[in-house]
Structure 1
Amino acid sequence: MVIKIAVIGSADFLKRIQSLSTQISDIQIDEYVYQEPQDATQLVKTINPCDIIFFSGALPYYFSREWREQLTIPTHYLAQDEMSVTSTLLAVSYHKKVLLTRISIDLMDATFVTNVLADIDCEDQVVHVMDYQDMVESHFDLNRIITYHQTLWNQGIIDLAITSVHAVYDQLQQLGVPVMRMINPSDTLIRGLHDSKTKAQLVQRQSAKVAVGYIYINGTHELKKEKIAAIAHHIDATVQQMKPNLYALYSTQGNIENLINNNMLRDFFNKDQKHVKLGLGYGETIFEAGQNAEIALRFAKKEGEASCAYILTEGKELNGPYPQEYKQQRLAIDQPEFLKMAKQTTLSPANLSKIIQFGKTKNARHFTAVDLANYLQVTRRSTERILKKLADQGFVLVVGEEMTYQQGRPRAIYKLNILIYN
């Protein structure tokens, strides 16, 4: 299957991409040319149907973030690295005969230049470098980069400017400043196209996996069949009524993720619709996806009267409850240290996963039983039982106590003693 790649970049970049694209089989390039990196924002809005968007660099990728994050297709960008700097400096030395001390460079990360100079034992060489990473994260000003090079040239400090931004190259040429573009080696460009193709294929394979959904209507409440038909239409699903209050949907993972990303679940679970539970499961087969959907539905039923949905992936990652909030927990343990921990404490994979996730929050450095109970959404007594199991095995340490009331026993303050970032 041919992968259609929408490439956003300057005219020069796209010309090189087209010349190299023949080295990768089964791809089609659609060109979207910008004059300045900021134009990528508007270009993203005009993209025709494709499998992935490939940006020419970090700048257009960053500027299009607002619209890019709304896309349902993957994106990729060409990352600048030491290889680009090395190739460029070699070209300057061989063709331009310009000393390192007489050039100025702009790029996203100045450490690339520092690392290259260290590798070739030229750390004592003073190279004028402008790092615009901070500017990108606050307020990007193309003129500041242009002025940086122009000022050094006017003062006689440099003989050549090297820029990573094509629009800066064009402006400096008009101003009469000797300038060359940062070189993107052919191997880097080919690798960027290949990575884009691979990323798109991976997403396609994931999207094509089977998804099963169970819609459950609690008690005597009703859900109009037109509403079920509407959501089935959105995810291109077939519908089967299993019981008077239970419907099954058969679709694909890609369609379900589009449902989530486009906030259509929020419309399905409107403020007037209560007592509706949706369990969604992914799998390699309908049987596996159906089993996961049943488990997800059980979690949805525990959420009281509020309508909600849970998703259980084939990797046993539970996501939900949608649309109120998004939490993720693992229902399976596949790391030896966590498996050992589960056996020692007799805690379920779900509870252990939640505790590990709690450990990654800022509130978990020092916490009380109440803090953990609020996070786990269980009673204080249940939390204390969990803490005792953890403490008995040394996975929780008591590091202090607090007295928030004038009467009663002080509350213990705990600290997790778990390698949560493995």
Structure 2
Amino acid sequence: MPRDRITVLAPYDVIGMVAAIGHEFGSCAFHLDAYSDSRDIVDLFHKHRASSDAILIGGPLAHDYLMQQITGLPRTNDVPIGFVPYDETAIFRVLFEMARDRSDIDLEPMRISIDHPAGDHIRECVEEIDLGVGNTFCKECSSAENVAALTAFHSSLWREGHVSAALTSVHFVYERLRELSVPVYRIQPSKSAIRTAITALEDRLRERQLQDRQIALVAIRFKDAASGSGRVDIRSNLDRRRLPVERRLNALAERLSGVAQWVSPTEVHILTTRHHVEQDGCIAQTARLAADLRRDYGLDTAIVAGIADAANDALSLVRHTLARRADPPDRDIWIVDADRIVQHDSTSDTCLRYDTASSDPTLLKKAEGAHIGIASVNRVLACLTDNQIDHFCTDYLAKWPGQRPMIRA
């Protein structure tokens, strides 16, 4: 069985640590590429995304910068992206390293400069070991474009004698301050944070593979429409506009990586996967198709997507839903999972909060063992979270507001 390919993009002084820990994960093959300047992350992402199943970034600053730069670009969501955070272990390690190296200085009055993205956590850790928050100078950095300002911040405080040492989580800043002979300490991700990040990315890959294996059947049924003189026969209306309608249906099928096929004179099916139906923008694109067909040709539609493990089961869900909702509202779109639970209502054009997917392998295993859908499990968890409780009876759940997601088709 081929192993998942995870590309690791990390600073030069972190890449080796990630590579060593990556050997612990036998189900994945790791490809490594290093950077010094976080702004290089965009070019590296475009270089590797086509050959990667997932991408792991070695720090939050580069990750946030990448997300800002690729937002809105096509197909950027095809590859799961994760990053390694800076946790308390990493921060305490560098604080102890600094205390050991600067043993000639009393820690209590010691003054240090720190920067974002680890700044908030460092302040908490400084409090924990009583270094004194009043002895720290902090600067936030919200973008990789501002790393030059971080270098100036630390170096000027050092030159003016306001600080004894600098702490930075940015490799680029660390290298520049060393060149300027500023006493600087680098906050590197901890091994536990790297393991956690890789595990989370593995879980997302398993979830994606589950979605890719599940079948989604999208049924588009054309309905008789009202006109000034009564009802317009849908078949005659469709026959006159068959070619332009088919072009639009084929365009939607292409976006869903499926094929549009007429199963009756008034109904089209698109066979695809759950992943393509649930991807960002799918519902909006389908809603636009329905609106355009109504506006341009006077064609009303009912659209249902059935999600199941087999095509016949997905078809059964679609048929059942359309039969129960013989006259759904114009341009309505329904997504129905294997539990016959409606997971989307087009009136809000947003996916409902009780996701049918879960990245928690323990939760998935328990749901499978109990023969219940993960959507039902997530509904219970949402109720617990909203009400900040750890138990309840069935009556309480039934009376919990916002139950529309659980309407059975």
TM-score where L is the length of structure 2: 0.70
Deviation at 1:85, TM superposition (A): 0.6
1:113 and 2:122 are equivalent in the alignment: yes
In 2, the alpha carbon distance for the partners of 1:240 and 1:145 equals 58
Question: Alignment identity in percent?
Answer: 16
1:172 match: 177
Deviation at 1:53, TM superposition (A): 2.0
Q: How does 1:271-420 map to 2 (within 5 A)?
A: 272=296, 274-294=299-319, 302-304=328-330, 307=331, 309-314=333-338, 316-321=341-346, 325-326=349-350, 328=352, 340=395, 349-350=403-404
Deviations 1:64-96 (CA, angstroms, capped at 9, x unpaired): 224156422322111112111111112222345
Partner AA of 2:303 in structure 1: L
1:257 and 2:259 are equivalent in the alignment: no
Partner AA of 1:36 in structure 2: D
Q: Which moved more, 1:247-256 or 1:57-66?
A: 247-256
2:56 match: 54
1:24 match: 25
Deviations 1:23-70 (CA, angstroms, capped at 9, x unpaired): 211222233443422332343333323222212222112112241564
Equivalenced residue count is 345
2:87 match: 81
Deviations 1:97-134 (CA, angstroms, capped at 9, x unpaired): 364414332232534223323433x15475424241xx
Cα 1:348–1:61 change in 2 (3 A) is closer
2:370 match: none
1:216 match: 221
2:65 match: 63
Q: Any idea what SS the aligned residue of 1:197 has? A: helix
Q: Decide whether the 8 Å contact of 1:57 with 1:80 is kept in 2.
A: yes
Q: Decide whether the 8 Å contact of 1:44 with 1:68 is kept in 2.
A: no
Q: Decide whether the 8 Å contact of 2:283 with 2:349 is kept in 1.
A: no
Q: Decide whether the 8 Å contact of 1:279 with 1:300 is kept in 2.
A: no
**Contiguous gaps of at least 5 residues in structure 2:** 225-233, 355-374, 384-390
In 1, the alpha carbon distance for the partners of 2:95 and 2:325 equals 59
Cα 1:259–1:160 change in 2 (3 A) is closer
Q: Decide whether the 8 Å contact of 2:123 with 2:133 is kept in 1.
A: no
Partner AA of 1:22 in structure 2: H
In 2, the alpha carbon distance for the partners of 1:261 and 1:242 equals 22
Cα 1:76–1:215 change in 2 (3 A) is same
Q: Decide whether the 8 Å contact of 1:295 with 1:312 is kept in 2.
A: no
Cα 1:178–1:299 change in 2 (3 A) is farther
Q: Any idea what SS the aligned residue of 2:77 has? A: coil
Task: Name which of 261, 269, 275 aligns with 1:248.
Answer: 269
TM-score where L is the length of structure 1: 0.68
Cα 1:296–1:56 change in 2 (3 A) is farther
Say what the alpha-carbon RMSD is for the aligned residues: 3.7
Higher relative contact order (CA 8 A, sep 6+): 2
Partner AA of 1:159 in structure 2: S
Q: Decide whether the 8 Å contact of 1:241 with 1:247 is kept in 2.
A: yes
In 2, the alpha carbon distance for the partners of 1:242 and 1:94 equals 75
In 2, the alpha carbon distance for the partners of 1:255 and 1:207 equals 8
Partner AA of 1:350 in structure 2: R
